[in-house]
Amino acid sequence: MDPSSNSPGSPGPLLDIRGVSKTMGGKLILDEVSLNLNKGELKVLIGPSGGGKSTLLQCAHFLVVPDAGDVFLDGESAREMGKKDIRLFREKIGMIFQDFNLFDHLNARDNVAVALRRVKGMRKAPAYKRAEEELERVGLGGKEDLYPAQLSGGQKQRVSIARALAMDPKVMLLDEPTSALDPELIGEVLNVIQDLFQSGMTMLMVTHQVGFARHLTKEILFMEDGRITERGSPEELLDENSPSRAGLFCRKLSEVTGR
């Protein structure tokens, strides 16, 4: 599709990843990967470790610049943006990592407010008010003064989600947001993700929580060796009798994890 046919504000995908390739350390990590997300849509990426899923999310955010291809947000090309505009582009895409990336010396309120103050230039009082609202939204009302060392893994991840939400993103990218959590803490983070989706947030999620994801998404993308090799509905790919590579992968994953 010609990029000019999807001008800013026109009908079309909210996030459009087109032919993205990336080589790192002499190894091809992404090989002409394309996918798109419409507003309010959740798509799930699954596949073996080392298949390129995390790198794809980083390229979608332009934290990692693709060697080829482009990413369009609401019809605007990231590759054509200058430094100021690419910063604004990244502000519109929330990124949730596996390992929380919180500042240990800041309490929950300040961890959420820091980007509002430093990036958006908000004054302290309104930044704190917004931080407290987002912490309340993810179920952490009353935990504002606690530091990361005083929080469980699930609570830390919810602080990181609140921090992303405070920037008013159009899209959320979630890179295995529960992989660093103990099993009993996974549910509290998944509940927040489900609430966000039901409120209309657009999301691309890498996860091994396939049982959870299959009830929310209409399309699962299976990725290995730097390419999306299968895509389809959960019923098409994950049915117990499905011959798909995705189905085989998930059945083996279930045997290992017991989920």
pLDDT tens for each residue of 211-254? 888 888 999 999 999 999 999 999 999 888 888 899 888 888 77
CATH number of the domain residue 55 falls in: 3.40.50.300
Query: Average pLDDT in the 96-121 region?
Result: 94
Residue 41 CB coordination number (10 Å): 20
Co-location of 142 and 23 in the same domain? no
Co-location of 123 and 65 in the same domain? no
Co-location of 195 and 159 in the same domain? no
Co-location of 88 and 51 in the same domain? yes
Q: Is the pLDDT of residue 7 over 80?
A: no
CA nearest to 45, candidates 244, 221, 236? 221
Question: Per the domain annotation, does 87 fall within a domain?
Answer: yes
Question: Per the domain annotation, does 253 fall within a domain?
Answer: no
Q: Is the pLDDT of residue 9 over 70?
A: no
CA nearest to 64, candidates 30, 40, 32? 30
Co-location of 151 and 69 in the same domain? no
Co-location of 30 and 134 in the same domain? no
Strands 42-46 and 202-206 come out as parallel
Give the number of domains in the chain.
2
Co-location of 137 and 211 in the same domain? no
Co-location of 125 and 62 in the same domain? no
DSSP states of 36-82:
EE-TT-EEEEE--TTSSHHHHHHHHTTSS--SEEEEEETTEESTT--
Residue 26: give the domain boundaries: 1-92+181-234
Residue 149 has what DSSP assignment?
A: G
Question: Per the domain annotation, does 142 fall within a domain?
Answer: yes
Question: Per the domain annotation, does 59 fall within a domain?
Answer: yes
Helical segments of 150-227, H only:
153-165, 183-198, 210-213
How many helices and strands in the chain, by DSSP H and E? 9, 10
